[in-house]
Structure formats: structure tokens, C-alpha cells
Chain A
Amino acid sequence: MGANEGKQAINRVVVVGGGTAGWMTAAGLASMLGPTGLEITLIESEAIGVVGVGEATLPHIKNFNDTIGVNEAEFMAATSATFKLGIEFVNWGRKGDSYIHPFGEFGLPNAGVAFHQYWRKFAGQPGVGSLDEYSLPVIASRLGKFQPPSEDPRSVMSTYRYAYQFDALQYAPFMRSHAEARGVTRMEGKVVDVALEPESGRVSALTMDDGRVVEGDLFVDCTGFFGLLIEKTLNAGYDDWSEWLPADRAVAVPCESAGPLLPYTRATAHEAGWSWRIPLQHRTGNGHVYSSQFLSDDAACDTLLEGLEGERLADPRFLRFVTGKRRKLWSRNVVAIGLSGGFLEPLESTSIYLIQEGITKLLELFPADQDCDVEVAEYNHWMDLQFERVRDFLILHYHATERDDSDFWNHMRTMTVPDSLAERLELFTAHGHVSAYDHGLFLVPSWVAVLIGQRVLPSSVDARVSRQADAEVLRHLAGLKGHMEKAAGSMEDHAAYLARNNMMRAAA
């Protein structure tokens, strides 16, 4: 006898929304739980459409794809994808600055001391160069090279990971074909009414615009900024973080590709926000994220269009959002995944990662029946932590700056940051130590990349650095730099790699 006998078992999941979040969720659930008899239905409305942005990812997406059995070459070709080794930040610490936050390490630790500590001691000395020069993914990025990392931990080629940049409008359909092949039922149409069970207040059925009624046991709200179930129906509430992350608008436009296919995303800071540049196989994605408190829509659009590197391919599209997260990402029998659950703005490409995290946690805690308050609380606890830790890392980008050329930057530079971030900054600025946690997206090298990239230099270094003779350290630095340069130089040209491995999308 099953433990859930007599209680309402969960066997029917209804995903509302067919954007990136909806189809990733459907594909994830179908791959992992489809074989157990779980029925999955996805409702999407072509009339409403998708947000259509969200093209840069983090390395974790490869795990997701691998877990659900996606073939990389097919995926790359189907979504016009390119590889991504990191993000270049231009004009953040100061106008004219540029650094890359790579998906990998800086140098190699020595006698237990992090590499950046040695670099810091000798930074500024002839030949030492910038921290970037000791990161294989950074050097490869600048050279436009790509090669998958080695699995041999002794090799310098194992010191990085990679992600993808893909066409958002091609990604969801790719996930759709994957999900449908694993039994997901798709329904086209708009949900116009939501029925709740009178006693429990749980969602019991959805009514579509053509009158069809769809019943379910568990509902996943992937309706994007609409938040149809989680907010419009269940009023979960929203933690507004615009106090620290005041960007609330974006204008996006694609343009023709210009120049070589770069294996990284660029984020260029402007007067009251920043713009992205995401190179895809067939075009470049561009957008300007800004705070309407400090910049008008017209001015934001002008800045974006002036910066385009190729011919514009569509009209600019404006988007609005409020940074923050739903107070409860799982409420009653509704789980919000994707933009319906929250949005911390696109800097550092964390949104699709948070979708993935939501799906993984849902799978881990997938309830047997409606008696699942503990699973719900655990899900919310975990996701709150993930959002908060990402939030602090994003705030750092705006706060760690010397820019004083606009009201926006003066505000960001001088604002009070969350205590958790203030303590980190204090520790790092003293002797370059980075506080690490076990559960959170951004690891020590990421914090180091942004802090040093934005000129937050520790006033001194780890006291163990002095245990090694200066000349020896300098020799080591020179050797390592040469080694990295050589290794990156030996990698294949990014575009050539894609072509050679049948990853290019066939011309239409």
C-alpha cells in the first residue's frame, strides 16, 4: 500500500507557458519522471508570445542538457548557438576599463594560497600584466578561440568550463521537440480562468479561451512576467529589490553579425545602466538595461542603436520589470519557475540558471500527494537562498565602481548594500580573502574576477605570500603566463570549431 493512499496523489502536472522556462520544465519533468507515469501538459499561447530575450547562459546549462539527454551538436545547430567562456565587462570600474569574468580559474594556487594573492603583490611591476592574463578562458576569449576543457585535472586545459549563447526564439522550440518526444502534451490557447478548490484554495482547473478545461494536480506557472497563477490568482507577493538593483527597463534589438564570432558575451556600462552584446551564429543580440528613474526610453534606445556593430535586423522592443522575487515561489499547488518567479536583471546571465535550479529542486522534492507542506517550505527556503546570493553578486557590479559621471553611478556607488555583501567587501579589501559558501552560484574565482576587475584591490595580501622569495614568484608568474598563452594559442578558432563539429545551423 502506498504511503499516499487516500490522499490526492500527484500524477498530472500542468505547465502554463511555453517560453524557455515552460519548455525547460516540461522537458526536465518528462525526462526524469515521464517513465514513472507522470502526465505532463503544457499550455502556451502564440497570441501572447514569449519574452524573446535571454540568450546568454552559465556553464550549468550543460549539466541540464546532459541530464535530459540533449545531443550538444544538434542543440548548437538547432539554436544557432555559440560557445561562451565568460563575460567581458566594459566601463564598469571606470570608463575605459575592460575585464572578463571567465568561467574558470585564475592561475593555480600555490602552497594553499590563492593565485590572485601572488598577483596582487606584484601587480604593476613590469611584465606582470593584468590578472586576466593568467586565465585560460580569458585569453582564449580575447583570441576568439574555443576548445572543450580537458578532463585531466593536471592539465591547464582543465581550468575552465563553458556555456552557450543561443537564439531564445529557437531554444524553446528545441526543448519543445525534446519534451514532446518524451510524452508531453501541448495545448495551444490562452488560459482565461483559474478554478480553485473551495476549501484548500488550491488550483484545480484552468479554462482556456476556446472553453476547454484542463485539470491538474500540480501547476507550474511559467507565464513570465504575467505570473498568472502565482500572483494574479494566489497573490504570493513580491520582494522588491529595486532599492539595490534599480534597473527596471530594457530595450532589445538584434543586428547583423560583424567581425569574428566571439566566444563571450559583452556587458558595457552606460550612463544609467548597461548594454549586452551576445554573438550568435547568424546575428548578434543586443539590449540596453537601464533605470527609468535616471534615463528616458528614448535616450536608452539611442545609446543602444549608436552602439550596434552591424545592420539592425528589427525594430527595438521595450521591456519592463521590477527586480526581485516572488515571496513564495511555491504556493499551495503552484510552483513559479522563470520570470513568473522573479527576475534579478540580465547581468551575469543568471535567469536561465535559476530556472534550472527551480526544475532540479522541484524534481528532488516532487511530492507524492497534496500533503506536502514540508516539500513546499524546503523548496522556498532553497530558492530564496539562491536568489539572495545571486542578488549580492549583481549588486557588487554596480557598487564596486569609481564612476562618478552620472547621478545613477553616484547613487549606486554610495548606496548602503546588504550586510552580507558589506562583510565580504571588508574581508576582501583587507588582505584579499574571499568568503566562501557551500550553497550558492558564484564561487571564489567569480568574486575575485569582479572585485579586481572593478579595481577593488586589497590593501595588502595574504600573509603567507611572503614565504616565497619574490624572484621565485616572479619567475612562476612569467612561466604561467607563457604557458597559458601557449595553451590558448593552440586552441581552435571558435567558428572553425563549430563548423568542424557540425554545430552550424543550416542556412534557411
Chain B
Amino acid sequence: MSAERILVRGTPVQAGVIGAYLASRWLAAGRALELAIDPEDNTAAPFVTRPSIHRLHGEIGLPTDQLFARCGGSPVLAAEAQTADGSSVQLPFSAFGVPRGGLEFHQYWLRASRLSEQADLTEFSLSLALQNAAHKPPLAQLAQLPVEFGIAFDRAAYGNALLSFAKAGGASVVESGNEQEQDADLVIQCSPDAGAPKWHGQELTIALESDIPGLEWHHLSSAARRFASLAAPLSNCAPEQAEWTRLAVAENERVADMRELLSINDPLASSRPALQRKAEVFVACGRIPTEDYEVFTPPEWLAALWARGVRPRRSDRMAERLPDAQLLDWLDQLRGQIASLTRQVQAA
């Protein structure tokens, strides 16, 4: 078998994510992985990961709790993004309230709010309550709660930890400028200015976006995982290249939908068909249709639509199965439970 060599270019955390994954899932005898690090990472913001971090760490055997402790970790239960009017919106990773009888909670909320005045929908999110609490619960406790969470790391510390992991897995790490570009069979470029992601010929470009916390992580981890899941000889992989690009572009379209929702003045006037579909169906009946290869979860879409003032005309008829008094009681109880859980977690 002829040797194959991949060169990854990026900042420590960018090359670290790709490098750690490929070292664990792709590197083997006859293959080389070189990480060319651009040490000039001037980003001060922490490196925010989404809940998929737990799966990724599990897949490659990275100890999340140790990294959490060593790399200044802090749990993230919702991503905070900016909207057109300059305000910010929190996009929670877990559902509002709890679903009942196969129906999402917000449908019950919509109905209840027609019966009597209700606290805002966002008050029924355990994710948001915990995210906004003065102290975040420890990891072990969070894992017991019905919430999804990512982790915000100190960028440099996490990047270096991942680079060490990649190195231990057989990757070589060099400072940018010292790499051997000529004989790389594939150059993976982590680029914030790339426009669209693409794998073509000997170059795979990951188009990094970071305007919504967690996106940079998503693009990197999903690029690496997808590349590995389409593993083929690098000299003979045209169908895999096309598939990688198709999926990455599809995901980027979904991100562009979210960006437009947050930034456009009238979300219902969007010219993006998938966003228009989401907004229209949400207004019509409170459902949020999804596309293939979504990046954001339904609660994130719900929070974004809500924050932009998009409201359903009506609630789902299935919510009417619950008698009025029972519905109102249930909502009260839920709020109480969220508040007491948040208090307990704070006290612990």
C-alpha cells in the first residue's frame, strides 16, 4: 500500500479538533497526518462546543471531565446570538417544558396563554434557567438532568490538549511555515474566509463561521467526522468528495437560514425557501418543519423564531385534549419544578 499524507492547516484549536479525530479514526500504518499550526490565534472568546461534543469525545476516547477541569471548561446550555435589532437571543439546546402525548410543550403554552396570562415561553426552559443561573452545576450533576449541554473551553488550553492527543495518536505537529506541503495527498484548510466548504482535488476547505457560538466547533467536528465516515484512498475518491461537499454545503445552507432569521427585519419576508417554510408553517400552526442535515435543534429554531417576534396564529388542536384547569395546573407545576430544580442545583 502506498503511503498517504494529510496536512491540516489551522489555529491550534482548529487543527486540534481535526487532528485529534483523524489521529484516532483515520491514521494507520502507511498514513501520515501533519498539523501545521498557525499560532496567531487572536480570538479572545472561549471555544464553545455544542452537545455533540460528548459523542465526539466518546468516539475517540477523550476524557471530557479531565479536559473540562484542565481547560477552563464551563457548561453551555444555550448559545447566545445577536439579532438584527442589536439584542441578543439565547438558543437553548433542549426543549422548552416537556412534551406531552407526543405534542411539543409550546403548543400547550400557546393554548394556555389564550386562557389566561402566562409567563413568557422562555420561562419554561430548564436549559435557559440553568444557563442564566449565577453558578453552573458541576458536570456530574448536569449529566443527571434532562438537559443537553456543550462546553465552553479556554481556546488555547483546549487547542493544546487536542494537539497533544493528536500527537500521542501519531500525528506530527509543526508550526505553520515548516510543513512539507509538496508531498501532501490532501490539504485540509480551516478557513474563516472560505465562503463555501468544498473537497476537490487535493484540497478540502472547511468554511468556518463563528458568529453563533458553537458553529466553529460544529463545522470542524462535522467536517472531520464526515471525512472519516467517507474514508477512501485519497487518489481515488471522487464520489466521496462529491458527497462530502454536498452534505457540508447542505449544512451551511441551514446555518445561513438561521443567520438570516436572526438578521433580517421581517423573517416572514425571507427569500430563503427553507427559512420561509419554517416561518410560515410556524405561524400557521406552531410546528417547525425540518430539512435533511439540520445543524440547529428544534428548540433553537423555536427560540430564534420567538425572539424575532414570530408567533403562531393558533395552537395545535391536539393540545385541546387536556382540560383547561388541568392544563393551567400543569403549567404552574412545571414552572415551579424548573425554579426548584434550579435552586437545588445552585445550593449543591
Contact = CB atoms under 8 A, between A and B. Distances in A.
A372 B287 CA distance: 14
Nearest to B231: A463
Given A112-B59, A365-B285, A430 B292 contact: no
B228 A464 contact: yes
Interface in A458-504: 460, 462-464, 466-467
A29 B228 CA distance: 45
A364 interface: yes
22 contacts: A3-B314, A33-B317, A36-B320, A112-B25, A366-B316, A366-B318, A367-B285, A368-B313, A368-B317, A374-B281, A374-B285, A375-B284, A423-B242, A426-B239, A430-B240, A431-B230, A431-B231, A438-B292, A438-B293, A462-B232, A463-B232, A463-B233
Given A112-B25, A423-B242, 5 more contacts: A35-B320, A67-B102, A368-B317, A438-B294, A439-B290
A433 B227 CA distance: 12
B243 to A, nearest CB: 5
Pick from A365, A437, A463, A466 the residue with the most CB of B within 10 Å: A463
B285 A433 contact: no
B233 A460 contact: yes
Interface of B: 1, 25-26, 28, 59, 102, 114, 228-233, 236-240, 242-243, 277, 280-281, 283-285, 287, 289-294, 313-314, 316-318, 320-321
B318 A439 contact: no
Contact of B28 (A366, A427, A466): A466
Which 8 pairs of residues, A with B, have the shortest CB-CB distance? A374-B284, A463-B231, A467-B28, A36-B320, A3-B314, A431-B232, A427-B239, A438-B292
Interface in A365-384: 365-368, 372, 374-375, 378, 381-382
A141 B12 CA distance: 53
Contact of A36 (B236, B243, B283, B317): B317
Nearest to B282: A374
B233 A111 contact: no
B280 to A, nearest CB: 5
B28 A363 contact: no
Nearest to A367: B285
A32 interface: yes
A435 interface: yes
B35 to A, nearest CB: 19
A435 B239 CA distance: 11
A364 B316 CA distance: 8
Contact of B318 (A36, A111, A372, A378): A36
B231 to A, nearest CB: 4
Contacts of B291: 438-439
Given A4-B314, A438-B292, A460-B233, A378 B321 contact: no
A433 B229 contact: yes
Contacts, number: 109
A112 B229 contact: yes
A431 B238 CA distance: 11
Contacts of A364: 285, 287, 316
Contacts of B114: 2
B292 A437 contact: yes
Contacts of A112: 25, 59, 228-229
Contacts of B280: 374, 378
B287 to A, nearest CB: 6
Interface in A20-51: 32-33, 35-38
Contacts of B287: 364-365, 378
A32 B318 contact: yes
B243 A433 contact: yes
Contact of B313 (A3, A426, A435, A439): A3
A466 B228 CA distance: 13
A439 B290 CA distance: 9
Nearest to B247: A435
Contact of B314 (A368, A381, A466): A368
Contact of A466 (B1, B25, B102): B1
Given A33-B317, A463-B231, A435 B243 contact: yes
Contacts of B240: 427, 430-431, 433
A372 B281 CA distance: 10
A33 B318 contact: yes
A32 to B, nearest CB: 6
A367 B285 CA distance: 8
Contact of A430 (B237, B281, B290): B237
A24 to B, nearest CB: 17
A466 B139 CA distance: 37
A2 B293 CA distance: 36
A214 B102 CA distance: 32
B317 A366 contact: yes
Given A32-B318, A36-B320, A363-B318, A464 B102 contact: no
Interface string A59-101: 0000000010000000000000000000000000000000000
